[in-house]
């Protein structure tokens, strides 16, 4: 029994049942994983995709890089970060000149460009520098505090003279021996590794100071003490200071070194040996022959 009239303007009744696809769509939308993908995955993908599409243009990338560099430069060139001066403390004038030459700073510069660690390594790499500390003081001053090596001996080598400090570290080359007559002289290969021992021996040889020429490292294992007139005191490998003390004691008692002796051989401590000069040897033989009544 259909009603004969339909209410005016009322739309025909719609079937409330969802279509097959609407039903499936609703079920899909209620699937948790799908919803998560839709809510998080798709926006992420969209943003990423749009971003990469925009950045795909070379000019845009360059523009961004240029903008960043510009901003960076603007910050770096502010007066708060500028370094105007370099102050070097504790260095002799020529060392300070050396340091300036090595660093080759183009001041004023921004403190972002200064690599303090590298500069410290560079300065510490200089021979006369024992230690150095760098910092940027307020007011735009690069402060270097240098501790210089103190030369203790002069080392003569085939290449020339060199100043060494008490630890054997080279300080600087020396033009001539006369420039530093106050320092003792050592020679021989490997002498720089035993500067401390050499200084000890020099201290022991203080009574011989006026006649002392220097120490020679022999065979890279032991010392010869060289005096004027070509005299040598050959010291043993072990306990050279004791041997030297004995020689000095003998010298004090017997006036040993003022005699015509070429070398005092202390290499075997239990058997000190004297080597005479040829004339003295002749003289000795002659005296022996006289004593023996040969002539």
Partner 1 sequence: MNQLYQSQRAMRAMRKAAMQRGVVAILDIGTSKIACLVLRFDGTEGSRASDGVGPLAGQAGFRVIGAATTRSRGVRFGEIAAMQETELAIRTVLKTAQNMAQIRVDHVIASFSGANPRSYGLAGQVELEDQTVSEHDVARVLAACDVPDYGEGREVLHAQPVNFALDHRTGLSDPRGQIGNTLAADMHMLTVDAQAVQNLAHCIKRCDLELAGLASSAYCAGISALVEDEQELGAACIDMGGGSTGVSIFIKKHMIYADSVRMGGDHVTGDISMGLSVPMAVAERIKTFHGGVVATGMDDREMIEIGGDTGDWEHDRRTVSRAELIGIIRPRVEEILEEVRTRLDAAGFEHLPSQQIVLTGAASQIPGLDGLAARILGQRVRLGRPMRVHGLPQSVTGPGFSAAVGLCLFAAHPQDEWWDFDIPVDRYPARSLRRAVKWLRDNW
Query: Which residues are near partner 1 by CB under 8 A?
Result: 1, 3-5, 15-18, 20, 22-24, 26-27, 30-32
Write out the E strands in the chain: 82-83, 85-89, 109-110, 129-137, 141-148, 151-157, 160-165, 170-174, 185-187, 212-218, 222-227, 232-234, 261-265, 273-276
Identity of the residue, 24 or 61, whose beta carbon is nearer to partner 1 in the bound complex:
24
Q: How far is the CB of 41 from partner 1 (least distance, A)?
A: 18
Q: Pairing mode, if any, of strands 170-174 and 185-187?
A: unpaired
Q: How far is the CB of 26 from partner 1 (least distance, A)?
A: 6
Contact between residue 152 and residue 171 where contact means Cβ atoms under 8 Å apart: no
Identity of the residue, 20 or 271, whose beta carbon is nearer to partner 1 in the bound complex:
20
Gap between the Cα atoms of 48 and 38, Å rounded: 15
Contact between residue 135 and residue 123 where contact means Cβ atoms under 8 Å apart: no
Q: How far is the CB of 43 from partner 1 (least distance, A)?
A: 21
Identity of the residue, 35 or 100, whose beta carbon is nearer to partner 1 in the bound complex:
35
**Diameter over CA atoms, the chain:** 179
The total of other beta-carbon atoms located within 10 Å of residue 124's CB is 14
Identity of the residue, 2 or 292, whose beta carbon is nearer to partner 1 in the bound complex:
2
Q: How far is the CB of 12 from partner 1 (least distance, A)?
A: 16
Q: How far is the CB of 2 from partner 1 (least distance, A)?
A: 8
Identity of the residue, 15 or 58, whose beta carbon is nearer to partner 1 in the bound complex:
15
């Amino acid at each position: 029994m259909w009603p004969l009239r339909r209410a005016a303007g009322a739309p025909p009744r719609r079937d409330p049942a969802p279509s097959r696809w609407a039903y499936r769509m609703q079920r899909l939308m209620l699937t948790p994983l799908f919803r998560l993908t839709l809510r998080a995955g798709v926006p992420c993908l969209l943003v990423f995709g749009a971003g990469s599409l925009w950045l795909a243009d070379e000019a845009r990338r360059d523009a961004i890089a240029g903008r960043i560099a510009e901003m960076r430069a603007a910050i770096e060139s502010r007066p708060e970060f500028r370094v105007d001066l370099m102050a070097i403390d504790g260095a002799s004038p020529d060392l300070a000149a050396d340091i300036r030459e090595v660093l080759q700073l183009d001041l004023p510069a921004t403190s972002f460009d200064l690599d303090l660690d590298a500069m410290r390594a560079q300065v510490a790499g200089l021979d006369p520098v024992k230690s150095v500390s760098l910092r940027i003081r307020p007011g735009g001053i690069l402060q270097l505090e240098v501790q210089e090596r103190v030369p203790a001996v002069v080392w003569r080598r085939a290449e020339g003279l060199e100043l060494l400090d008490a630890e054997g570290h080279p300080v600087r080359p020396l033009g001539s021996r006369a420039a530093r007559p106050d320092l003792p002289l050592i020679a021989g290969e490997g002498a720089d590794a035993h500067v401390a021992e050499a200084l000890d021996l020099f201290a022991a040889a203080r009574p011989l100071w006026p006649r002392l020429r220097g120490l020679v490292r022999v065979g890279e294992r032991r010392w010869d003490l060289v005096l004027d007139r070509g005299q040598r005191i050959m010291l043993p490998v072990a306990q050279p200071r004791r041997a030297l003390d004995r020689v000095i004691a003998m010298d004090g008692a017997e006036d040993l070194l003022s005699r015509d002796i070429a070398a005092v051989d202390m290499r075997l401590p239990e058997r000190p040996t004297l080597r005479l000069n040829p004339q003295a040897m002749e003289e000795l033989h002659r005296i022996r022959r006289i004593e023996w009544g040969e002539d």
